[in-house]
Amino acid sequence: MRWYNGHFVLLAILNYVIKITMRVCSIIGYKGESLAAPLLVTCLQKMEYRGYDSVGIATIADGKVSVKKGVGRVEDVNSSLLLGRLPGRIGIGHTRWATHGKVTEKNAHPHTSCNGEIAVVHNGIIQNYSELKSGLLMKGHIFKSETDSEVIAHLLEEDYVHTGDLRVAMRNTSKKLAGAFSFIAAFSDGTIAGARYDEPLILGISNDGYYISSDVVGFLNYTDRAIFLDNRDIVILQGSEMEMINFDGAPVLRPTTQVAWEFGGIDKGTYAHFTIKEINEQVETITKSGRGQEKSIKQVSEVLKSAPFVYFTGSGTSYHCALVAKNLLTKYGKRKSDAIMSSEFQYLVNDIEPDSVIVAISQSGETADVLEVVKKAKPLGTKIISIVNVPTSSLARLSDVSVHMNCGAEIGVAATKSFTSQLTLLYAIIDEMSGGLIGLEEQRYKLQNAVRELIEGQSMIEHIVDEIKDVKDIYVLGRSIHYPIALEGALKIKELSYVHAEGIPAGELKHGPLALIDRNSCILVLNPNDSTFEDVNANAHEIKARGASLIGVGNSPSDVYDQFITIPEVDEILYPLLEVIPFQLIAYYLALVKNANPDYPRNLAKSVTVK
């Protein structure tokens, strides 16, 4: 198949399973008519949202492999090292998330073979790398980094030197690697080859060449025609030919898919950051959530109605949503349930009743802890329902029924609009189960106006941020259905602004945390007008007596609070959807005051695909 004559294997199978994931490292390769380096820089920038600490590019020109790499953001490393000026129309690039070895220039990819004729970029973890490395060291290979990935370059070299056949080298090397990986190798003869096993790898076909990437977003600027490689697939771009084989050398044919979908619209627009754009988008996304999903919502509600026990599970923000869902299901669905964070549930799941139902919640649908729970539960016969934002994700594909959050791509590492969308979906499901007791539909319009009002009140939030910008510890209190929002509010503050924040069930204050409260503490209190009001108000007074500064969130401002954020009136059961928004805004503006980049918090990745 040639890239320049337009003869593509255009097996446009519309319902083909597109797998778009947000992994930690990003890899990209290009071979075509354009200069590779500037394209690769742009592609890597498009994938920045996945999180990384260093960056590098290798290109091939006149039979020579040139490599440049460094620690920091693509833009900064590019301005200091001029990555985009590397010569040639063939190249590979990488943004690294350190797993094996520190964040250093040496550990940044691409890694090269001893003879410098092969450069490699890798995403994933090579579990047997130390064993492979020992073997290679004994054969005289010299390693320049502490990474697991470098073994790939030396293994390829070993096989290529012995067989003179890069197909054999790609196959043998891939078969020797244990773990989850996708890698791209650039050879000095101008060939680029990629292989995958349990990490995504996608071929992009444009009018002037081919791209190979860990993420469609990497090349979506240049083409929307893609081939999704399967496990054990190898793609080889040699001369002007594209060839696909499997690890055993047999030819494989995969359909070409058109991937023009919502990820194409990834752009900050007029906003300074994706995070604030996504917070603002909630005016629309909360309204949209569940619309057009009526059939799956009904289906899920039927499954839950007949379930003897329901487990809600998720990680981080999605776990907080699980906690709210459990509360709603008990109250309105009248079903027994529990919410267990996936990183803990995986050790228990083998012992649950097989006729239980698991509701797995995940924005990405790729979180390793969640997938682990589901993979362990499925063989037991447990029904799996998922709530995801990527309908083609691994979690969606493993589920019996999956409901789509439909809130568009979320690029900011901190979950904002995905939280309110997943929550709205769960309200819709439990409302359906209860025969409309929650009355979500009737309140959509009111809810939308309330979200708008909260978002428009950003100047009040900026004022509060100014007051609290120097505090070292923030505590967020709430009771009942508001406790998960206290956890979520604290999570937003710590991940975006790096200020220590803790969500505490207000009723537990006297059982320990009160010991921490003094004049230097800052406490945010979820104190809306519902059954929790009086008890929380009493807690606020206890705190006040210890001299701490108090910020209330609710509908009845009171003297006990130094500041008060008013939540617009909606039915009290819907408060959690609104209460979280001021916390998202506080976290965002606190990050700005502290000069932290809210879109890419340090040490965090958008999707945590390793345990």
C-alpha radius of gyration, the chain, whole number: 26
Peptide linkage before 110 cis (omega within 30 of 0)? yes
**Closer to ligand AGP at the Cβ: 387 or 506?**
387
CB of 90 to ligand AGP, least distance (A): 34
CB of 484 to ligand AGP, least distance (A): 13
**Closer to ligand AGP at the Cβ: 188 or 315?**
315
CB of 77 to ligand AGP, least distance (A): 25
Rounded Cα distance, 38 and 393, in Å: 30
Residues 6+ apart with CB under 8 A from 19: 200, 228, 392, 393, 394
CB of 367 to ligand AGP, least distance (A): 3
**Closer to ligand AGP at the Cβ: 59 or 607?**
607
Rounded Cα distance, 429 and 410, in Å: 23
The reply to whether 114 belongs to the active site is no
**Closer to ligand AGP at the Cβ: 148 or 369?**
369
Assign 320 to helix, strand or coil. Answer: helix
The DSSP line for 118-170 is EEEEEEEEETTHHHHHHHHHHTT----SS-STHHHHHHHHHHHHHHS-HHHHH
Assign 335 to helix, strand or coil. Answer: coil
Residue 364 as a binder of ligand AGP (CB under 6 A): the answer is yes
**Closer to ligand AGP at the Cβ: 305 or 611?**
611
**Residues 365-384: x/- map of binding to ligand AGP (CB under 6 A)?**
--x--x--------------
Interface with ligand AGP in residues 452-511 (CB under 6 A): 495
Query: Where does residue 63 fall: left (phi above 0), alpha (psi -120 to 50 degrees), or beta otherwise?
Result: left
The torsion angles phi and psi of 386, rounded to 5 degrees, stand at -130, 155
**Closer to ligand AGP at the Cβ: 386 or 537?**
386
- Catalytic entry in 277, 288, 492, 606: 606
CB of 51 to ligand AGP, least distance (A): 10
CA 558 vs CA 13, 350, 533, 561, 581: distances in Å: 61, 49, 12, 6, 21
One-letter amino acid for residue 54 of the chain: S
Within 10 A of 378 (CB to CB), how many other CB atoms are there?
Answer: 16
- Catalytic entry in 25, 114, 321, 407: 25
Size of the site for ligand AGP (CB under 6 A): 16
Instruction: Please select the residue that binds ligand AGP; options are 27, 413, 454, 474, rule is CB under 6 A.
Output: 413
| Selected range binding ligand AGP among 148-156, 407-415, 436-444, 470-478, rule: CB under 6 A | 407-415
| Selected range binding ligand AGP among 357-365, 425-433, 460-468, 541-549, rule: CB under 6 A | 357-365
The reply to whether 68 belongs to the active site is no
Instruction: Please select the residue that binds ligand AGP; options are 340, 349, 414, 591, rule is CB under 6 A.
Output: 414
Closest residue to ligand AGP, based on beta-carbon distance = 316
Chain centroid, CA 199 distance in Å: 14
**Closer to ligand AGP at the Cβ: 209 or 489?**
489
Instruction: Please select the residue that binds ligand AGP; options are 280, 434, 607, 609, rule is CB under 6 A.
Output: 607
| Selected range binding ligand AGP among 54-62, 364-372, 465-473, 578-586, rule: CB under 6 A | 364-372
The alpha carbon torsion through 98, 99, 102, 108 (nearest 10 deg) reads: -50
Residue 257 as a binder of ligand AGP (CB under 6 A): the answer is no
| Selected range binding ligand AGP among 236-244, 329-337, 356-364, 431-439, rule: CB under 6 A | 356-364
Chain centroid, CA 77 distance in Å: 24
CB of 606 to ligand AGP, least distance (A): 7
Strand order in the sheet with 26-32: 64-71, 54-61, 90-96, 26-32, 209-213, 202-206, 225-228, 256-258
CB of 317 to ligand AGP, least distance (A): 3
The torsion angles phi and psi of 498, rounded to 5 degrees, stand at 65, 20
Assign 503 to helix, strand or coil. Answer: strand
**Closer to ligand AGP at the Cβ: 415 or 553?**
415
Rounded Cα distance, 322 and 313, in Å: 6
Residue 362 as a binder of ligand AGP (CB under 6 A): the answer is yes
Residues making up the chain, counted from first to last: 611
One-letter amino acid for residue 23 of the chain: R
Residue 421 as a binder of ligand AGP (CB under 6 A): the answer is no
**Residues 185-224: x/- map of binding to ligand AGP (CB under 6 A)?**
----------------------------------------
CB of 97 to ligand AGP, least distance (A): 14
Tokens encoding 72: 């920091």
Range list of β-strands (E), 509-560: 522-526, 549-554
CB of 426 to ligand AGP, least distance (A): 13
**Closer to ligand AGP at the Cβ: 57 or 587?**
587
Within 10 A of 535 (CB to CB), how many other CB atoms are there?
Answer: 14
Which of 434, 374, 431, 367 lies closest to 399, judged by CA? Answer: 374
Chain centroid, CA 406 distance in Å: 15
**Closer to ligand AGP at the Cβ: 78 or 607?**
607
CB of 286 to ligand AGP, least distance (A): 17
Rounded Cα distance, 393 and 603, in Å: 24
CB of 415 to ligand AGP, least distance (A): 4
One-letter amino acid for residue 325 of the chain: A
Interface with ligand AGP in residues 287-326 (CB under 6 A): 315-318
**Residues 565-604: x/- map of binding to ligand AGP (CB under 6 A)?**
---------------------------------------x
Rounded Cα distance, 332 and 329, in Å: 5
Residue 172 as a binder of ligand AGP (CB under 6 A): the answer is no
Instruction: Please select the residue that binds ligand AGP; options are 78, 356, 363, 549, rule is CB under 6 A.
Output: 363
Contacts with ligand AGP by CB under 6 A lie at 315-318, 362-364, 367, 370, 413-415, 495, 604, 607-608
Catalytic site positions: 25, 606
